[in-house]
Structure 1
Amino acid sequence: MILETVFNLIKKVLLFIINLLPTTNINLPDGFVEWFRDTLSFVGYFVPVGDIFLMLGIWFAITNFNIIWKIITRIWDALPFT
C-alpha cells in the first residue's frame, strides 16, 4: 500500500512533466508505411520476422536492465526498515 502510493506519486510527477512538453506533429512521407511493410517482408525471407522481434526485445532488455536495476535499488534503499 505504501509502495502503491509512492509509485502513484512518481507517476503523477512524470505525467505532469510529460504534459509540459509541447506537442509535435510528425508527418510521414507518402508511401512510407508500404515501404516499411515491403522491407519487413523482404527481410522475412532471410530471417523470420518473429526472430527479428525476439532479437530486438533481447537487445532492449539487456540495454535497459542496468537502468531498471538502479531504479529498483534506489527505491529499495529509500524504504524505511529494509
Structure 2
Amino acid sequence: MRATCPSCGTRHEEWDEDAGGDRFAYVSSTSRCPGCELIAHEREHVPDGPHGYGVKVGLLPRAVYELRTRARAFRDHRK
C-alpha cells in the first residue's frame, strides 16, 4: 500500500514495523500561525445560518486595506 494519508502526509508502511517501518518514525510538532489565529478569531463573528452562508474570511495586507479604505472614503466624500 503506497497511499499517502491526506491529513498528515505519511504512508502506512512508514509506521508498520513488519513492513520495515518504525512505530516512532515521526515526532509531532506544534506551532502557531498568527495569520491562522486572526482568521479563526474573525470566524467567531460570522453569524450562523443564512446570514453567514458564503462568508469567507481571509487576510489582506494592511497597506492594501488602508489604500482601499482611503479610496472608499474619497469616493463617498465626492457623492
- TM-score, normalised to structure 1, is 0.26
Q: Which has the higher helix share?
A: 1
Structure with greater contact order relative to length (CA < 8 Å, sep ≥ 6): 2
Greater CA radius of gyration, 1 or 2? Answer: 2
